[in-house]
Amino acid sequence: MSHNTFGHLLRVTTWGESHGPALGCVVDGLPPGIRFTVAEIQADLDRRRPGQSRFVTQRKEPDEVKVLSGFVEDGDALVTTGTPVSMLIENVDQRSKDYGDIARQYRPGHADFAYEAKYGIRDHRGGGRSSARETAARVAAGALARKVVPGLVVRGALVAIGEKDIDRANWDWDFIDDAQNPFFTPDRASVPVFADYLDGIRKAGSSVGALIEIVAEGVPPGLGAPIYAKLDQDIASGLMSINAVKGVEIGEGFAAARLRGEDNADEMRMGNDGRPAFLSNHAGGILGGISTGQPVVARFAVKPTSSILTPRRSIDRDGREVDVMTKGRHDPCVGIRAVPIGEAMVACAIADHYLRHRGQTGKG
Amino acid sequence: MSHNTFGHLLRVTTWGESHGPALGCVVDGLPPGIRFTVAEIQADLDRRRPGQSRFVTQRKEPDEVKVLSGFVEDGDALVTTGTPVSMLIENVDQRSKDYGDIARQYRPGHADFAYEAKYGIRDHRGGGRSSARETAARVAAGALARKVVPGLVVRGALVAIGEKDIDRANWDWDFIDDAQNPFFTPDRASVPVFADYLDGIRKAGSSVGALIEIVAEGVPPGLGAPIYAKLDQDIASGLMSINAVKGVEIGEGFAAARLRGEDNADEMRMGNDGRPAFLSNHAGGILGGISTGQPVVARFAVKPTSSILTPRRSIDRDGREVDVMTKGRHDPCVGIRAVPIGEAMVACAIADHYLRHRGQTGKG
Amino acid sequence: MSHNTFGHLLRVTTWGESHGPALGCVVDGLPPGIRFTVAEIQADLDRRRPGQSRFVTQRKEPDEVKVLSGFVEDGDALVTTGTPVSMLIENVDQRSKDYGDIARQYRPGHADFAYEAKYGIRDHRGGGRSSARETAARVAAGALARKVVPGLVVRGALVAIGEKDIDRANWDWDFIDDAQNPFFTPDRASVPVFADYLDGIRKAGSSVGALIEIVAEGVPPGLGAPIYAKLDQDIASGLMSINAVKGVEIGEGFAAARLRGEDNADEMRMGNDGRPAFLSNHAGGILGGISTGQPVVARFAVKPTSSILTPRRSIDRDGREVDVMTKGRHDPCVGIRAVPIGEAMVACAIADHYLRHRGQTGKG
Amino acid sequence: MSHNTFGHLLRVTTWGESHGPALGCVVDGLPPGIRFTVAEIQADLDRRRPGQSRFVTQRKEPDEVKVLSGFVEDGDALVTTGTPVSMLIENVDQRSKDYGDIARQYRPGHADFAYEAKYGIRDHRGGGRSSARETAARVAAGALARKVVPGLVVRGALVAIGEKDIDRANWDWDFIDDAQNPFFTPDRASVPVFADYLDGIRKAGSSVGALIEIVAEGVPPGLGAPIYAKLDQDIASGLMSINAVKGVEIGEGFAAARLRGEDNADEMRMGNDGRPAFLSNHAGGILGGISTGQPVVARFAVKPTSSILTPRRSIDRDGREVDVMTKGRHDPCVGIRAVPIGEAMVACAIADHYLRHRGQTGKG
Out of D5, D240, D251, name the one closest to residue C230 (CB).
Answer: D240
Cβ(D36)–Cβ(D78) below 8 Å: yes
Query: Is B5 an 8 Å CB contact of chain D?
Result: no
Asked whether the beta carbons of residue C358 and residue A359 sit closer than 8 angstroms, the reply is yes
pLDDT of residue A1: 42
- Residue C151: how many CB atoms within 10 A of its CB? 8
**In Å, how far is B356's CA from the nearest CA of chain D?**
6
Q: Which chains have 3+ CB pairs within 8 A of C?
A: A, B, D
Name the residue among A255, A265, A281, A233 with its Cα closest to residue B301.
A255
Asked whether the beta carbons of residue D321 and residue C270 sit closer than 8 angstroms, the reply is yes
**In Å, how far is C61's CA from the nearest CA of chain A?**
35
How many Å apart are CA D25 and CA D15, to the nearest integer?
Answer: 6
**In Å, how far is A80's CA from the nearest CA of chain C?**
12
Question: What proportion of chain A, given as a percentage, has pLDDT over 90?
Answer: 76
pLDDT of residue C43: 96
**In Å, how far is A348's CA from the nearest CA of chain C?**
14
A vs C, Cβ pairs < 8 A, gives 44
For residue A329, what pLDDT band results from cuts at 50, 70 and 90? low
Containing H/E element for A14?
Answer: strand A11-16
Q: What angle do CA B27, B155, B235 make, to 5 degrees?
A: 55
Nearest CA in chain A to C34: A361
Query: Is A360 an 8 Å CB contact of chain C?
Result: yes
Which residues of chain D does B364 touch, with a Cβ-Cβ cutoff of 8 Å? 362
**In Å, how far is B236's CA from the nearest CA of chain A?**
6
Q: Which chains have 3+ CB pairs within 8 A of D?
A: A, B, C
Query: Is B360 an 8 Å CB contact of chain C?
Result: no
Cβ(D19)–Cβ(D361) below 8 Å: no
Cβ(B153)–Cβ(B40) below 8 Å: no
Query: Is B222 an 8 Å CB contact of chain D?
Result: no
Residue D27 corresponds to which amino acid? V
How many Å apart are CA C4 and CA C23, to the nearest integer?
Answer: 13
Q: Per this entry, what is the length of chain D?
A: 364
Asked whether the beta carbons of residue A15 and residue D84 sit closer than 8 angstroms, the reply is yes
User: pLDDT digits over A136-146, tens only?
Assistant: 999 999 999 99
pLDDT of residue B3: 85
How many Å apart are CA B128 and CA B120, to the nearest integer?
Answer: 14
Which residues of chain B does C111 touch, with a Cβ-Cβ cutoff of 8 Å? none
**In Å, how far is D330's CA from the nearest CA of chain C?**
12
**SS3 label, residue C337:** coil
**What is the residue-level pLDDT of chain B in tens, covering all 364 positions?**
458 999 999 999 999 998 889 999 999 999 999 999 999 999 999 998 877 787 877 677 789 999 999 999 999 999 999 999 999 999 987 665 656 677 789 988 888 999 899 999 887 777 788 888 899 999 999 999 999 999 999 999 999 999 999 999 999 999 999 999 999 999 999 999 999 999 999 999 999 999 999 999 999 999 999 988 999 999 999 999 999 999 999 999 999 999 999 999 999 999 999 889 999 999 999 999 999 999 999 999 999 988 888 889 999 999 999 999 877 667 789 999 999 999 999 999 999 999 999 999 998 7
pLDDT of residue C125: 78
Q: Which chains have 3+ CB pairs within 8 A of B?
A: A, C, D
Cβ(C107)–Cβ(C127) below 8 Å: no
How many Å apart are CA C179 and CA A347, to the nearest integer?
Answer: 57
Which residues of chain D does A4 touch, with a Cβ-Cβ cutoff of 8 Å? 26, 28, 83-84
User: pLDDT digits over A55-80, tens only?
Assistant: 877 677 789 999 999 999 999 999 99
Helix, strand and coil percent figures for chain C, each rounded to 5: 30, 25, 45
Query: Is A360 an 8 Å CB contact of chain B?
Result: yes
**What is the residue-level pLDDT of chain D in tens, covering all 364 positions?**
458 999 999 999 999 998 889 999 999 999 999 999 999 999 999 998 877 787 877 677 789 999 999 999 999 999 999 999 999 999 987 665 656 677 789 988 888 999 899 999 888 777 788 888 899 999 999 999 999 999 999 999 999 999 999 999 999 999 999 999 999 999 999 999 999 999 999 999 999 999 999 999 999 999 999 988 999 999 999 999 999 999 999 999 999 999 999 999 999 999 999 889 999 999 999 999 999 999 999 999 999 988 888 889 999 999 999 999 877 667 789 999 999 999 999 999 999 999 999 999 998 7
Which residues of chain A does B129 touch, with a Cβ-Cβ cutoff of 8 Å? 226-227
- Residue A359: how many CB atoms within 10 A of its CB? 30
Cα torsion D259, D290, D83, D22 to 10°: value is 10
Out of C2, C250, C356, name the one closest to residue D225 (CB).
Answer: C2
Query: Is C66 an 8 Å CB contact of chain B?
Result: yes
A279 burial (CB, 10 Å; 0-12 / 13-18 / 19+) is middle
Helix axes B338-361, B38-48, angle to 10 degrees: 130
For residue A46, what pLDDT band results from cuts at 50, 70 and 90? very high
Which residues of chain A does D15 touch, with a Cβ-Cβ cutoff of 8 Å? 26, 28, 68-70, 83-86
Asked whether the beta carbons of residue B359 and residue D359 sit closer than 8 angstroms, the reply is yes
Nearest CA in chain B to D355: B359
Nearest CA in chain A to C353: A359
Asked whether the beta carbons of residue B110 and residue A314 sit closer than 8 angstroms, the reply is no
The whole-model pTM stands at 0.96
- Give the distance, in angstroms, between the CA of residue B38 and the centroid of all CA atoms in the same chain: 20
Asked whether the beta carbons of residue D358 and residue B356 sit closer than 8 angstroms, the reply is no
Query: Is C186 an 8 Å CB contact of chain A?
Result: no
Q: Give the pairing type, strands A65-67 and A85-90.
A: antiparallel
Nearest CA in chain C to A363: C362
Name the residue among B219, B353, B224 with its Cα closest to residue B288.
B224
**What is the residue-level pLDDT of chain C in tens, covering all 364 positions?**
458 999 999 999 999 998 889 999 999 999 999 999 999 999 999 998 877 787 877 677 789 999 999 999 999 999 999 999 999 999 987 665 656 677 789 988 888 999 899 999 887 777 788 888 899 999 999 999 999 999 999 999 999 999 999 999 999 999 999 999 999 999 999 999 999 999 999 999 999 999 999 999 999 999 999 988 999 999 999 999 999 999 999 999 999 999 999 999 999 999 999 889 999 999 999 999 999 999 999 999 999 988 888 889 999 999 999 999 877 667 789 999 999 999 999 999 999 999 999 999 998 7
Which residues of chain B does A162 touch, with a Cβ-Cβ cutoff of 8 Å? 257-260
Name the residue among C239, C174, C188, C231 with its Cα closest to residue C212.
C239
User: pLDDT digits over D63-115, tens only?
Assistant: 999 999 999 999 999 999 999 999 999 998 766 565 667 778 998 888 899 98
Asked whether the beta carbons of residue C361 and residue A32 sit closer than 8 angstroms, the reply is yes
Q: B 100-139 residues with CB below 8 A of A?
A: 106, 108-111, 113-115, 117-120, 128-130, 134
Average pLDDT along chain A:
92
User: pLDDT digits over C306-320, tens only?
Assistant: 888 888 999 999 999
Which residues of chain A does C30 touch, with a Cβ-Cβ cutoff of 8 Å? 360
Which residues of chain A does D24 touch, with a Cβ-Cβ cutoff of 8 Å? 68, 86
Q: Give the pairing type, strands C276-278 and C286-287.
A: unpaired
Cβ(A343)–Cβ(A216) below 8 Å: no
pLDDT at A310 exceeding the cut of 90: no
Query: Is B11 an 8 Å CB contact of chain D?
Result: no
Q: What angle do CA D254, C248, D211 make, to 5 degrees?
A: 70
Cβ(B138)–Cβ(B24) below 8 Å: no
Asked whether the beta carbons of residue A5 and residue D15 sit closer than 8 angstroms, the reply is no
Containing H/E element for D282?
Answer: none
Cβ(C216)–Cβ(C350) below 8 Å: yes
Q: D 255-274 residues with CB below 8 A of C?
A: 255-270, 274
- Here the ipTM equals 0.95
B193 burial (CB, 10 Å; 0-12 / 13-18 / 19+) is middle
The secondary structure of D344-359 as a DSSP string is: HHHHHHHHHHHHHHHH
**SS3 label, residue D264:** helix
Asked whether the beta carbons of residue C85 and residue B15 sit closer than 8 angstroms, the reply is yes
Query: Is A288 an 8 Å CB contact of chain C?
Result: no
Name the residue among A212, A89, A111 with its Cα closest to residue A159.
A212
Asked whether the beta carbons of residue C236 and residue D234 sit closer than 8 angstroms, the reply is no
Nearest CA in chain C to A28: C360
Asked whether the beta carbons of residue D226 and residue B83 sit closer than 8 angstroms, the reply is yes
Which residues of chain C does A69 touch, with a Cβ-Cβ cutoff of 8 Å? none
Which residues of chain D does C117 touch, with a Cβ-Cβ cutoff of 8 Å? 221-222, 290-293
Name the residue among A347, A323, A244, A247 with its Cα closest to residue A30.
A347
pLDDT at A99 exceeding the cut of 70: no
End-to-end CA distance of chain C: 35
- Residue D86: how many CB atoms within 10 A of its CB? 31
